[in-house]
Amino acid sequence: MKSSIIASVLVALIVIAAGAGILFYTNESMNYISTEDAKVQGDISTVTSTATGTITQWNIKDNQEVKKGDVIAVVQSADPAGAAVQIVAPADGTVLQSKGAVGQVVSAGTPVAMTAPLNQLYIIANIEETDIQDVKVGSDVKVTVDAFPGTEYSGKVEEISEATSSTFSMLPSSNASGNYTKVVQKIPVKISLDSEDKLVPGLNATVKISK
């Protein structure tokens, strides 16, 4: 008798848990568009040498804040005039990568640093084409990132791309065999964030966009 009661209770608990799971899934699918195909991104600027020559002055290091026009380096030109050429920051931001050093020989166009405004980060989420009709500019978004699973960020849909992700591929897939398999396309959606605390470009994210 006792064992049958325990079995009945277990069955009831399983039914309740299954019902709760179905209710949760239904609520999520009815109210949100979700994807794990998303990353934190920023407007990264690549700083390049403007002359061929030797770096005689290097003024930055990783994680340093720079302002547009700040002198990052001075290059002694290799041309007969031997002029000193300044390399300046193209925009306000934080130095993500400092690749130069005094005495280094560089060519014109050589990347020497990378910067990005870490207070203006955003999310790019790739939404399946079958769901894009439910995504609207201005919609509320909940964001979590793998690096900080206990933190939820809020944001809004800022832009919806006018082309699929595959359109921007440098090497689009060919179909020489004649066999065709339809692949669900994804459309990039830009999401602005209310706060970028602790975030850095490149982090994996999960987004839930309100319908």
Kindly give, in sequence order, each residue whose CB lies less than 8 Å from that of residue 44, ignoring residues fewer than 6 positions away.
Answer: 96, 114, 115, 116, 201
Q: Binning pLDDT at 50, 70 and 90, where does residue 67 land?
A: very high
**Amino acid type, 55:** I
Q: Among the listed ranges 4-13, 32-41, 65-74, 190-199, which one has the minimum average pLDDT value?
A: 4-13
What are the boundaries of each domain within the chain?
A: 32-41+119-210, 45-118
Position with higher pLDDT, 172 vs 64: 64
This prediction has a pTM of 0.80
More confident residue, 111 or 2: 111
Tokens of 79: 């041309």
d(CA 149, CA 167): 32
Higher pLDDT, 179 or 116: 116
**140 sits in which H/E element:** strand 140-145
CATH superfamily of 32-41+119-210: Efflux pump adaptor protein, beta barrel domain (2.40.30.170)
Report which of residues 51 and 25 the model is more confident about: 51
Find the radius of gyration of the CA atoms of the chain. 26
Please give the average per-residue pLDDT across 15-22, as a whole number: 58
pLDDT for 182 equals 83
Partners of 159 in the β-ladder: 190
Average pLDDT over residues 123-128: 97
| 3-state secondary structure (DSSP) of residue 60 | coil
Write out pLDDT tens, residues 94-115.
999 999 999 999 999 999 999 9
DSSP letter string, 63-104: T-EE-TT-EEEEEEE-STT--EEEEE-SSSEEEEEE---TT-
Statement: residue 143 has pLDDT above 70 = yes
Residues ≥6 apart with Cβ < 8 Å to 148: 198
The separation between CA 21 and the C-alpha centre of its own chain, rounded to angstroms, equals 31
CATH of domain 45-118: 2.40.50.100
Distance CA 181, CA 184 (A): 10
Q: Rounded CA gap, 175 and 97, in Å?
A: 40
Mean residue pLDDT of the chain comes to: 88
Per-residue model confidence (pLDDT) at position 3: 63
CA distance 186 to 37: 10
Q: Which residue has the higher pLDDT, 1 or 205?
A: 205
Q: Quick one: pLDDT at residue 141?
A: 97
